Each structure stands twice: as structure tokens, then as C-alpha cells.
Structure 1
């Protein structure tokens, strides 16, 4: 009787040992698979983000070139075909007050001297009234942003003005062209030019252009 009990005990111990061994062999394989899938997913996301950044950096530089050379016909080609484009004097977007043009409207007015009120200038509170071409030359490209620092989906310039671009365009991508301030003005004379992009039929187009600077 004792021998039978002892024999059964040995069988149970062997069975448990085999089960434990089997589990230890299987679990690492499952864990490795999960890690491999996560790594592949992260790699794909990083590659996709890098592709977007490279694409938008190229578009960003092309648009800057049209503004510097005052090639506004070329600039028009980057405006979103359906959503058009919004111009904001500062980084706070006000869709009810900021000027918005379809691509057709932009093409219509760019060659004319029609005056538009773009908003209030910081400091003086004076209204900024310009035709589109003068607004682009005197306000949007007020400095040579071709030599600016490039940033993708992040804002380098921060000041007193609320920046609501992410909130206003939650699904869009943006670039910032940042010119640092000088030591003589304690860095407060910085400027930036921001382009907001949205995808349409596999191509990115401009839906907003905003300037940013230190405000009082």
C-alpha cells in the first residue's frame, strides 16, 4: 500500500515538472512575439512620422521661396482646393474674424488693390489694412524666414499671445519657421511664421498661415 502511494506521488511530481517545463518554454515565445510586434509598430510609426516631416519640410521651403520672390501665383498652388486658407496675424486663430479665402478668391484678389482689414496690431492697437499682396509682403514675410530655424509639429516661439493652433486644427500638421531674438532685446524680438497643412487626396495643402511674436 505504501509503495503504491509513493509511486503515485512520484507520478504527480513528474507531471508537475513536465507542465512547469512546458509553460516555461511557451511563455518566453509569447512574450518575444508581443515585444517584436510592438517594436515593429513603433518602427512603422517612426518611419511614417519621418516621412511626413520630410514631406512638409520640402513643402515648407517651397512656400517660403514663393513668398520671398513674391510669386503669389505659385503660392496659390499650395492652398487647399476645398478648405481654402485662413490668415491670422498672430498665433491665436479666430475663425470668425480672421480673413479666409478660397483658392479662387485668393487668385481673384491677389492682382487687385482691394483693401482688407486683417486685425489689430499689438502695442498700438491700430488696424492693419492692406491688399492681400501687401499683407503677404509686409506682414507674413516681414523677415527673411528662409534663414529661420525649422520645427515640425512643435512651437519654439512662445509669448503672451495664446496659441490655439493645435486646438483649432486638431487633425492638421504644422511647421514653424523661427527666428530667435537678439541679446540686445533680451530675446524678445523673436519672430515665427507658421504653416498649417491638411491632407487632400494624398497631398498636403495649406489651410492656415499665422505669424507669431512677443506681444504686450
Structure 2
């Protein structure tokens, strides 16, 4: 009788905790956490968030491991002059003060010779693209005079565009800005291969 009473007390104690025997077993052997695979759009958003935060050590994990990432200051991609950085080089950008050649300024053709941090302010995150007014996938939103050759340079890639149609009414939309993140898939994971800044050009 004493043993039965002890069992009743034990079961009553478990019930008062709100746990069944099955739930206790699950607590002992929790289900493994399955990491959700990011979509192309999710990866682009993640990249833009890290760009905004200037978290380059984390951004490097989103950069294509063999192709790196090409930085393009305007809509037209110049594969000969636009700078390509490897994932490891991206990871070290915070402390990097080196002057690079990124391409040519629109209108003058003068070389764009800037440190990454100078280039970043002018040709990467010069607007809050994480909260862009418009976002598209494989559809160009910003239209200027420059040719969009992204599909030719990155065949089969996904291009996610973060776009502001304009900021001041007096410019009638000529002050629009876009940031296009080019994503390619490798071994079931999406990687950034291109970061294209675009705006009205002469």
C-alpha cells in the first residue's frame, strides 16, 4: 500500500507540473534543429542588412566562394574595370584603407579611385536600401541612360533590386537610386556575385 501511495504522489506531482511522460521524454531527447534554407530574396535581404550594418565579417559568408563579388557603380557592368573582391577580402574591408580603381565616373570618364569606405558612401549604401520603397526580382525598376547588361554578365542569376523612385519632387524622379544584388546558387546555397549601384546617368 505504501508503494502504491508513493506512485500516486509521483504521478500527481508530474501532472501538477503540466508535463506528460511523452513530454518529459521529448525534453530529454529534443528534436534536432533544422536550419532553414534561405531563398534568393532572403539572401539578398540578408546581404543588404549586413551592408547597412557594415558587418563585413558576416557578409563574407554570403559572398560566392570562387567567383567573389563584383562592385559596379552604375547600371552598366564593365567586366574589365569593375572591381571583384574575394570573400576573404570582403571580410577584411572594415580595416582596409587601400585605394582601388572601381571603374569610371559617368559623364567624365575619369577613374573612380577610392577606398572601399569612400566607395561605399557614394556607390553602395547612399540610401537606406534595406527599407526601399520598391523591390523587384529579375525586373528592372530604375531606368536611366545606362544599358542594363546584368543578364548577359550573370546568366541564370537572380537579381534583386532595392529601389527608390525619387526623393524630391523638384527633380521629377531624376534623383532615383537602386541597389541590385546579384545572387547565384551553388550547392543548394545562394551567394552574392554582384552588387550594382544605379542612378540617373547623363
Q: TM-score scaled to structure 2, two decimals?
A: 0.75
Distance, in Å, in 2 between the alignment partners of 1:164 and 1:83 is 18
Number of residue pairs aligned between Structure 1 and Structure 2:
164
Offset at residue 108 of structure 1 (A): 4.4
Q: Is the 8 A contact 2:71 2:195 kept in 1?
A: yes
One of 116, 138, 162 as aligned partner of 1:132: 116
Q: TM-score scaled to structure 1, two decimals?
A: 0.70
Describe the superposition over 1:154-189 as per-residue Cα deviations: whole angstroms up to 9, x where unpaired.
111111001100111121111000001242101111
One of 67, 81, 84 as aligned partner of 1:100: 84
Offset at residue 199 of structure 1 (A): 0.5
Distance, in Å, in 1 between the alignment partners of 2:106 and 2:80 is 19
Distance, in Å, in 1 between the alignment partners of 2:152 and 2:94 is 30
- Counterpart of 2:188? 202
Distance, in Å, in 2 between the alignment partners of 1:184 and 1:170 is 38
Mark the runs of 5 or more structure 2 residues left unpaired by the alignment.
Answer: 1-36
One of 156, 159, 178 as aligned partner of 1:171: 156
Bigger Cα Rg:
1
- Counterpart of 1:57? 41
The alignment's C-alpha RMSD in Å is 1.9
Higher relative contact order (CA 8 A, sep 6+): 2
Distance 1:109 1:143, change over 3 A: closer
Describe the superposition over 1:122-181 as per-residue Cα deviations: whole angstroms up to 9, x where unpaired.
245443222223322332001111221111111111110011001111211110000012
Offset at residue 104 of structure 1 (A): 2.4
Q: Is the 8 A contact 2:70 2:84 kept in 1?
A: yes
Question: Which has the larger helix fraction?
Answer: 1
Aligned pairs for 1:10-29 (under 5 A) are none
- Counterpart of 2:4? none
Distance, in Å, in 2 between the alignment partners of 1:61 and 1:199 is 15
One of 103, 107, 116 as aligned partner of 2:100: 116
